[in-house]
Amino acid sequence: MKNESIQKAIDFFGGSQVELAKALNVSKSQVWQWLNNINSVSLEKIIMLEEKTNGFIRCEDLRPDINWCVLRSKKRIA
């Protein structure tokens, strides 16, 4: 089963795993692994992805197990 959020990110970058990889400074094989749920996306790359897509892909979409509102409120305070 494909990771729908990663597929949405690929689609955002023109349907290209290569373009998503370039945007996040990772290899195409890393994107493929995320897409196919072989590896998880690191927190650093999740945050970067949200920033590069201007919120089209949200951190919550990729890692709903993390309480992002706590992290977001700390970011606003800092």
Q: What is the CATH number for 31?
A: 1.10.260.40
pLDDT value at position 66? 84
Query: Does residue 78 carry a pLDDT above 60?
Result: no
Measured distance CA(1)–CA(4) in Å, rounded: 9
pLDDT value at position 70? 72
Identify the band that residue 59 occupies on the pLDDT scale cut at 50, 70 and 90: very high
Let me know: does 13 contact 24? Beta carbons within 8 Å.
no
Measured distance CA(31)–CA(39) in Å, rounded: 9
Q: Each residue of 26-35: pLDDT tens digit?
A: 999 999 999 9
Identify the band that residue 64 occupies on the pLDDT scale cut at 50, 70 and 90: confident
Percentage of residues in the chain having pLDDT higher than 90 = 74
Task: Please give the residue range of the domain that contains residue 55.
Answer: 4-77
**CA 64 to each of CA 17, 68, 70: distance values in angstroms, whole numbers, following the listed order:** 23, 8, 13
Largest CA distance in the chain: 39
Measured distance CA(67)–CA(76) in Å, rounded: 15
